[in-house]
């Protein structure tokens, strides 16, 4: 047969003692040589590595076209690439599923290279084949693992998003209830205040209403900001002063504000609001007896890392304002003392006949703009 003759010729041309032929025969890489000048390019040489890779004997493969290695799951696109490479006389590299004699499959990294004769005609096709099944399996498993991981991450993200939505909804609900209940408490105090006639009781109720309003203003402000953890003291003071001066109906008292933006931790907002409310209320109610006009100054600044709140009036001073039996004012002072202790704040009062000045220093630590 022609193929056997070509094989003989090849063996003769590269006889014993040729180191190149010995290398091809002995290498662990499977190698085949096909005759490009015969029809259907029969295999004319295979090395032992090829035989052990595919499970065939030498006489079962010599004279056949290489395509017997393909099977039902060989990718037709890769086969087509191979065919076009051969037809064009080009070098081709494909990874293709091939089959052994026993029917088992393996991934073949096939490299096909045309060899030309002196006239430039393609005389042989030399192919090397490498079993890359392990790598393909690892890649597949990796892809599979990644897919499962991605699915797990997606699922977890969905759960967390849902949990966050629920939490946000709950926060809104609680916030809503707190605000409504504060409104309810205010209404109760206002309604009772409309009923009672005793001036002392009225004053007590008014004092309590102011305190509840201060806390209510805190809650209205707290959720308006983007950051629910922080509380803008100056914005609060602006609201509080507007409410209290408006409520007092004392057009003869001017208010001057010097407000710097200072944020404090939300957890300190209510106690600080109560302190400011008491101090401002004292000035508003006691510094200026009916008939005496004047000015109240409120300053919010940052000084040496502390929040500094100054409330000063040019009224009659605490000595003159303190009336025996005015338990309301006494209770207010107690509240200020207790809350300053709680806040670790320092309050300095300076009262003369030309007015009262109270300065509160509150350490603000990290919670600042």
Partner 1 sequence: MTERPLDVLIVEDEVLLATELEFLLDEVGCHSVGHAMSSDEAVAMAADLHPDLALVDVHLRDGPTGVDVARRIHDDCGGVALFMTANVKRLPADFAGACGVIGKPYSQHGVRTALSYLTVCLRDGQAPGPPPIGLELAPAYARRWGLNHLHPAA
Binding site for partner 1 (CB under 8 A): 172, 175-176, 179-180, 182-184, 186-188, 190-191, 194, 213, 216-217, 219-220, 223-224, 235, 238-239, 242-244, 246-247
Compute the least distance from the CB of residue 270 to partner 1, in Å.
Answer: 13
* 209 neighbors 189 (Cβ within 8 angstroms): yes
Minimum CB–partner distance for residue 140 and partner 1 (Å): 50
> Cβ closer to partner 1: 166 or 187?
187
Shortest Cβ 220–partner 1 spacing (Å): 5
Give the nearest distance from C-beta 178 to partner 1 in angstroms. Answer: 8
CA distances from 222 to 232, 316, 361 (A): 8, 35, 22
Structure tokens at 314: 């040019």
Cα distances (angstroms) measured from residue 333 to each of 51, 116, 207, 245, 336 = 102, 107, 12, 20, 5
The residues, ordered by sequence, that sit 6+ positions from 33 with a Cβ below 8 Å of its Cβ are 10, 43, 44, 45, 46, 124, 125, 126, 127
Q: Which is nearer to partner 1, 222 or 311 (CB)?
A: 222
User: Please, is 278 exposed, middle or buried when counting C-beta atoms within 10 Å of its C-beta (0-12, 13-18, 19+)?
Assistant: buried
Q: Which is nearer to partner 1, 327 or 369 (CB)?
A: 369
For residues 66 and 244, which CB has a smaller minimum distance to partner 1 in the complex? 244
Q: Please identify, using beta-carbon distances, which residue of 238 and 357 lies nearer to partner 1.
A: 238
Nearer to partner 1 (CB atom), residue 124 or residue 236: 236
Tell me the closest approach of the beta carbon of residue 320 to partner 1, in angstroms: 28
CB of 358 to partner 1, least distance (A): 23
Residue with tokens 């099944």: 133
- Between 67 and 172, CB nearer to partner 1: 172
Task: Between 250 and 357, name the residue whose CB sits nearer to partner 1.
Answer: 250
Q: Is the CB of 60 or the CB of 239 nearer to partner 1?
A: 239
CB of 238 to partner 1, least distance (A): 7
In the complex, minimum distance from the CB of residue 183 to partner 1, in angstroms, rounded to a whole number: 4
Query: Do the Cβ atoms of 340 and 346 come closer than 8 Å?
Result: yes
Q: How far is the CB of 306 from partner 1 (least distance, A)?
A: 25
Question: Which is nearer to partner 1, 9 or 190 (by Cβ)?
Answer: 190
Residue 64: CB atoms within 10 A of its CB come to 16
Please report how close the Cβ of residue 282 comes to partner 1 at its closest, in angstroms: 19
């Amino acid at each position: 047969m022609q193929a056997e003759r070509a094989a003989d010729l090849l063996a003769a041309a590269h006889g014993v003692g040729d180191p190149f032929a010995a290398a091809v025969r002995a290498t662990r890489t499977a190698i085949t040589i096909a005759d490009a000048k015969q029809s259907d390019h029969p295999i004319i040489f295979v090395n032992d590595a090829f035989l052990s890779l595919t499970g065939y004997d030498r006489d079962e493969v010599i004279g056949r076209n290489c395509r017997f290695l393909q099977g039902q799951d060989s990718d037709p696109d890769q086969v087509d690439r191979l065919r076009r490479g051969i037809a064009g006389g080009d070098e081709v590299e494909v990874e293709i599923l091939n089959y052994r004699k026993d029917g088992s499959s393996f991934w073949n990294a096939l490299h096909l290279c045309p060899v030309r004769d002196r006239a430039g005609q393609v005389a042989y096709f030399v192919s090397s084949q490498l079993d890359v099944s392990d790598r393909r399996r690892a890649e597949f498993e990796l892809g599979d693992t990644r897919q499962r991981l991605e699915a797990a991450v997606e699922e977890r993200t969905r759960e967390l998003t849902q949990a966050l939505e629920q939490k946000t909804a709950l926060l809104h609900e609680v916030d809503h209830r707190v605000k409504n209940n504060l409104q309810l408490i205010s209404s109760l105090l206002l309604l009772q205040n409309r009923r009672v006639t005793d001036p002392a009781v009225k004053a007590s109720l008014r004092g309590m209403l102011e305190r509840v309003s201060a806390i209510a203003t805190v809650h209205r402000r707290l959720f308006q900001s983007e950051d629910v953890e922080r509380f803008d003291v100056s914005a609060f003071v602006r609201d509080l002063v507007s409410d209290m001066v408006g409520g007092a109906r004392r057009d003869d008292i001017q208010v001057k504000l010097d407000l710097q933006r200072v944020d404090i931790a939300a957890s300190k907002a209510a106690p600080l609001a109560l302190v400011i409310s008491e101090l401002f209320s004292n000035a508003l109610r006691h510094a200026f007896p009916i008939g005496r006009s004047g000015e109240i100054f409120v300053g919010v600044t940052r000084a040496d890392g502390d929040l500094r709140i100054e409330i000063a009036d040019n009224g009659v001073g605490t000595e003159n304002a303190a009336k025996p039996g005015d338990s309301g004012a006494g209770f207010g002072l107690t509240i200020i003392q207790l809350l300053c202790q709680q806040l670790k704040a320092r309050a300095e009062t300076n009262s003369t006949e030309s007015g009262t000045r109270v300065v509160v220093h509150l350490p603000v630590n990290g919670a600042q703009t």
